[in-house]
Structure 1
């Protein structure tokens, strides 16, 4: 890492800082907490104020309006709740032990070591060294720094919110938050803006934005304390805007990489229509935002989800347009529609309530599936004469069915066609050709693969069976048709082998 974060100490070192008494009272406990990023903040503070996602800030037909807390996934939820609970308990223990009050009084008395002592206890003493660039030249992983920062931020916020409000505690809280925000300035700076992952940016954004709202809504405070809290909230809002811009910038970087990738046509052909790696990359990015919105919106104190909703909607709309544009590079219409179906279905899965839930195909996915069936299997069905599919032909008298066959049957074009070619033979040949061409195409999702197979089977087998029944009821036609044909069970078995890749 370049810039202010290039020179930071390893875990446990404090550079030139003087030792302080009663260290490591809470440090080991904090380090043992496994966090799932800033999303645990939604449980850490005011956990009793739960509510559903407020979709009033987004259009009802937006993708973000479909997101619920369930979207984040049960395993992520369990880890987040456990981590938040542990960090909140540590913050409350600091209050009940009188630790934060002592630190606030030391700070009010002019002690320069109060912040150093607290930040060392919170495992973020390196934050105090960012402006000066002190410490070891050995680098720490930025995601490790972000995780430590999130843990410390939750503890600090818990102490500020739950400590009995007083001028010393408010001033100490403001100083602590301001020092923590130095890290935000560092990671969104031009020197560092490309080194922090989107997930880390989201984690920090949720932390900062939720804290800003929480402090703004604090009531029953003295004018002096309220003024300090308002100042903290303004600083947090300002840094939240910076993180929001950084998130947009990060998404733009990913889009630029995808736009400049000239391997799309080759990858679509080589992949047999499966999900493109670039699509998976972008879906993973959007999923990070969906999860963040799901957790943030599940709690009443985090009200302003507009930025996250907008980020989701814009990227989903762009991804759909992007996939359609890139699919044109594929000259094979069958492969093109299968590529669009696979990739669009992956995008649609972003908004399932739980992994494995299926609401059916979206209208867009149905459109792509119909396009695939039209270019791939309609030519196969075209070899079965349409005259065999009059509605209710099996229920009407034989003479009425035959109205479409002239009495001079032996001299009609249909008879000559039946004598020279067999519709069943041509159908069988076309079917096997389509089967061989598509057997090794790929539909990775088991549910989608099953739906596609069932749809093809229904259209092909039902029409084929009806035609065989029609011929059986009309021997004057059956004798003109080759009797060498596949059984419906054989065709079903072959169709059940499609799309394994």
Structure 2
């Protein structure tokens, strides 16, 4: 579950104090004897990052193995830390004449050259901080950075493709990057404006890189799920030679992913549309948005595979119960989803009704016919159909008593 952070508006005194603190950090960063090749003392950045809860980011930036930082995969500390760094940069408006409370604390005799020097010093400090923070993007887009994820559905653990959690993290990071709006103020220093432009370019490049990684993760998940449709085992692990009426594990996996795409529609849709525009993805359903086409393709493929699997069931009653359970599960998940075509939902509801009728027809019609329209073979002593009915009913009961009708 995602929670919105409470926003607090600092007082003028608090803002002035923060500006003073960050100016001190910037001076220490460039004035300390342990300056790095980037021109600053990274221990100062590490101290600040540690206060923000992301001291590990500097080690990622230095090329430490990704496995050492698997705890950071969810970006739970990185996202708020980046937001605080950007907010800190916004406070530097006080370094410009006529902007914010910092002007009040500046001595009247302070020269314009000194003010400009502070602007440039902080711009460079902020640039180094952002470059180190954005190195996290390269860390999370690494192809091998995944871990196994297990969801629990109706009390049963359901393994899903490992890239699912990575995909969720990538989406959160991209959403964060897309919302960053740096407050660029006109400056008399061409160097400050150049630095600001470089930061914007880096942000744009990182956002594009995350977008590409999201599409790659989506393709990997889709491939793994579609490959799982070839698996002949049921999800409950109780598959018998006659088959199982339980909801198939492929049905659970496909619908879990489709519903994830539905919930993240406004984040996913632009990425899939972009992939379609450069022919990385060719939608099969041209009358809908590319993301909806992708979902339709997966659900249609699932239905086809379920139908093919059911053909191997020797008992026709079990076959139609299997199709009924799985189709009902799909229909329930898609019911009233805002972006999925209503026509498909209507067609699916019709299939569910058809499977129900076929199940009743092949399983219970022979039994009920002994009562409704008894033939001579159904009549026993005293021309009563009850003995035959009871016998047929017992056969059906014995056969079907262990068949599952899962609750959707």
Q: TM-score range by the shorter chain?
A: 0.5 to 0.7
| Residue 429 of structure 1: aligned partner | 391
Summarize the alignment of residues 71-470 of structure 1 with structure 2, pairs less than 5 Å apart: 76=1, 80-81=2-3, 84-85=4-5, 97-98=18-19, 110-113=39-42, 114-130=44-60, 132-134=62-64, 140=68, 142=70, 144-147=71-74, 149-157=75-83, 159-160=85-86, 163-164=90-91, 175-192=128-145, 197-215=162-180, 222=186, 224=193, 225=196, 228-256=199-227, 258-259=228-229, 261-264=231-234, 267-269=238-240, 272-293=244-265, 304=270, 306=272, 309-310=291-292, 312-351=295-334, 362-385=349-372, 422-445=384-407
Q: Aligned Cα RMSD in Å?
A: 4.6
> What whole-Å deviation, never above 9, does each CA across 1:33-76 have from its counterpart, x for those lacking one?
xxxxxxxxxxxxxxxxxxxxxxxxxxxxxxxxxxxxxxxxxxx3
Describe the shift of the 1:348–1:90 C-alpha distance in structure 2 as closer, same or farther (beyond 3 A): farther
Query: How far did residue 226 of structure 1 move?
Result: 6.1
Show structure 1 runs of 5+ residues with no match.
Answer: 1-75, 388-413, 449-501
Give the Cα separation in 2 of the matches to 1:433 and 1:383.
14
Structure 1 contact 334–376 (Cα < 8 Å) conserved: yes
> What whole-Å deviation, never above 9, does each CA across 1:452-489 have from its counterpart, x for those lacking one?
xxxxxxxxxxxxxxxxxxxxxxxxxxxxxxxxxxxxxx
Summarize the alignment of residues 50-69 of structure 1 with structure 2, pairs less than 5 Å apart: none
Moved more, 154-163 or 435-444: 154-163
Describe the shift of the 1:334–1:221 C-alpha distance in structure 2 as closer, same or farther (beyond 3 A): farther
Describe the shift of the 1:306–1:208 C-alpha distance in structure 2 as closer, same or farther (beyond 3 A): same
| Residue 112 of structure 2: aligned partner | none
Query: How far did residue 173 of structure 1 move?
Result: 5.6
Moved more, 99-108 or 282-291: 99-108
Give the Cα separation in 2 of the matches to 1:95 and 1:305.
41
Query: How far did residue 365 of structure 1 move?
Result: 2.4
Give the Cα separation in 1 of the matches to 2:320 and 2:377.
37
Query: How far did residue 211 of structure 1 move?
Result: 3.1
Structure 2 contact 246–322 (Cα < 8 Å) conserved: yes
Q: Which has the higher contact order (CA 8 A, sep 6+)?
A: 1
Give the Cα separation in 1 of the matches to 2:256 and 2:135.
29
* Secondary structure of the corresponding residue to residue 403 of structure 2: coil
TM-score, normalized by length of structure 2? 0.61
Moved more, 200-209 or 269-278: 269-278
Structure 1 contact 202–247 (Cα < 8 Å) conserved: yes
Structure 2 contact 164–221 (Cα < 8 Å) conserved: no
Give the Cα separation in 1 of the matches to 2:87 and 2:327.
44
Describe the shift of the 1:100–1:155 C-alpha distance in structure 2 as closer, same or farther (beyond 3 A): farther
Give the Cα separation in 2 of the matches to 1:277 and 1:206.
26
Query: How far did residue 171 of structure 1 move?
Result: 6.1
Describe the shift of the 1:418–1:339 C-alpha distance in structure 2 as closer, same or farther (beyond 3 A): closer
Describe the shift of the 1:385–1:250 C-alpha distance in structure 2 as closer, same or farther (beyond 3 A): closer
Describe the shift of the 1:342–1:278 C-alpha distance in structure 2 as closer, same or farther (beyond 3 A): same
> What whole-Å deviation, never above 9, does each CA across 1:131-163 have from its counterpart, x for those lacking one?
54459x9x5472x2213x332223313542682
| Residue 8 of structure 1: aligned partner | none
